[in-house]
Each structure stands twice: as structure tokens, then as C-alpha cells.
């Protein structure tokens, strides 16, 4: 079954303007590691998740779950478990090479943002479906969830919210704390909110177009 494509053909000048506006807005997105406890409207989160859920996915299987954690007690439990893993990482598991790569970000095992930010969105990948207790194979799960998370980050930034992409590896504790089934696997943890006043970010260089794009 098909339906007519709703495609809005823009005039050339509008296309260029829209493209430049989006590029400039996205250029101001930065990973924020110091959050304000100020609340943010849940409608902004809902809209951003709607946007993420509109992403393309392998066979349209939409193999994602976005668990929006606002409850202080759950956020505290996530922080405690994440800090336990991160402490192991920083003090024992991370090789020197990785610790060296992390130096510019001045990160350590303390993850207070997991409690301070008004929301922590935990993105799960759904590795397989379950239908009548049979497993349904999912295709291109990592690609699909990665694209959807990109949509999510762009939408949150577009609506004036700050984000941090966090990977407190291993993340298995999130299934337990958030009561998710075995076919759902934590993918990324994303604190969302407003930056703390005076928040600073590392000076980073982004590769130039000529370094990342080839035209053949």
C-alpha cells in the first residue's frame, strides 16, 4: 500500500537559507557537563522524542526505546550505579591511552550531572522483537538507533536544551534500575536540561569540510 509523498519543494533561495540556518544552529551545540537543576518543560522532551522516533530504521522496525527519567530517586540510583562503574573504569579498567585521550575533557568518575539535570534520557536498542514468545530478528539496530539518537540530540538542541552523551560502560545496571526486558540493551545515557551558569566547555577543533567530505 502506498500514499502520495508529502514533499515540499522549496525555491532555491529558501533552501540555501534553511541550510545555512540549520548549520549555524547545529554548530553551537556542545556537550555540556555542568547542568543547572532548573526544570525544563516535559513537552520539549516529548517533541524531541517524537522527532527521534520519526527517524529511518532498518525495515522500519524502530528498534529503540527512550526512557525519560525525571524521578529524583531513580536518577540517584542511576548516578550511584554509573559512578561505581566509572570509578572502576578510571581507577582500573581504562588503559593509559584512553585516560590520556580523555584529559582535555577533565572528566573523572564523579557523575553528579546524572542527578542534577532535570531529565536523563536512557536510549535502549531493541535487539530483537518478541511476538507470541517468538524472537523477531531486527536488522541494522546500531545504525538505526544511532540515527534516531542524532535526531534526538538535534531536536533537543533546536529547542534550546543542553545535552551530554554519556556511556558509563558497562551499562547493564540500567536494565535492572529501569526494569527493561532482556531484548532491550542500553545504548546511551543523555542528561538533558539547562547549562549551569558559567558552564565552560573544552576548546575543540572540528574537522574542516575538505577533511571530511570527498566529491568524486
Q: Which stretch binds ligand FMN (CB under 6 A): 93-101, 123-131, 165-173, 190-198?
A: 165-173
Residue at grid coordinates 522524542? 49
* 141-158 and 12-27 helices, crossing angle to 10°: 90
Residue at grid coordinates 541494522? 140
Residue at grid coordinates 540549520? 22
Query: How far is residue 194's CA from residue 32's CA, in Å, rounded to a whole number?
Result: 9
- Give yes or no for residue 212 binding ligand FMN (CB under 6 A): no
What radius of gyration do the chain's Cα atoms show? 19
Among 18, 105, 130, 200, contact with ligand FMN (rule: CB under 6 A):
105
Report DSSP letters for 171-207, one per residue: -THHHHHTT--TTEEEEEEEEEE-BPTT-------PP
CB of 133 to ligand FMN, least distance (A): 33
CB of 4 to ligand FMN, least distance (A): 37
Q: Which stretch binds ligand FMN (CB under 6 A): 90-98, 127-135, 159-167, 178-186?
A: 159-167
| Per-residue binding letters, 168-207, with ligand FMN (x by CB under 6 A) | ---------------------------------x--x---
Among 36, 83, 94, 107, contact with ligand FMN (rule: CB under 6 A):
107
Question: Which residue number is nearest to ligand FMN in terms of Cβ?
Answer: 31
- Give yes or no for residue 167 binding ligand FMN (CB under 6 A): yes
CB of 162 to ligand FMN, least distance (A): 10
**Size (the chain), residues:** 216
Measured at the CA of 45, the angle between CA 6 and CA 17, to 5 degrees, comes to 45
Q: List interacting residues with ligand FMN (CB under 6 A).
A: 30-31, 33, 105, 107, 165-167, 201, 204
Amino acid at each position: 500500500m502506498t500514499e502520495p509523498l508529502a514533499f515540499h519543494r522549496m525555491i532555491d533561495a529558501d533552501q540555501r537559507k534553511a541550510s545555512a540556518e540549520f548549520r549555524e544552529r547545529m554548530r553551537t551545540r556542545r556537550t555540556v557537563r555542568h547542568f543547572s537543576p532548573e526544570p525544563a518543560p516535559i513537552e520539549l522532551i516529548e517533541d524531541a522524542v517524537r522527532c527521534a522516533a520519526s527517524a529511518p530504521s532498518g525495515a522500519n522496525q524502530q528498534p529503540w526505546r527512550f526512557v525519560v527519567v525525571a524521578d529524583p530517586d531513580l536518577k540517584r540510583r542511576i548516578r550511584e550505579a554509573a559512578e561505581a562503574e566509572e570509578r572502576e573504569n578510571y581507577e582500573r579498567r581504562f588503559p593509559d591511552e584512553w585516560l590520556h585521550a580523555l584529559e582535555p575533557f577533565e572528566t573523572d568518575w564523579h557523575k553528579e550531572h546524572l542527578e542534577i539535570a532535570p531529565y536523563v534520557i536512557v536510549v535502549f536498542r531493541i535487539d530483537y522483537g518478541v511476538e507470541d514468545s517468538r524472537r523477531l530478528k531486527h536488522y541494522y539496530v546500531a545504525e538505526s538507533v544511532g540515527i534516531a539518537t542524532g535526531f534526538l540530540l538535534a531536536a533537543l538542541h533546536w529547542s534550546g536544551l543542553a545535552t551530554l552523551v554519556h556511556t558509563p560502560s558497562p551499562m547493564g545496571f540500567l536494565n535492572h534500575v529501569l526494569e527493561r526486558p532482556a531484548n532491550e540493551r542500553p545504548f546511551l545515557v543523555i542528561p538533558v536540561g539547562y547549562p549551569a551558569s558559567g558552564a565552560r566547555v573544552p576548546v575543540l577543533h572540528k574537522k574542516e569540510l575538505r577533511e571530511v567530505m570527498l566529491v568524486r
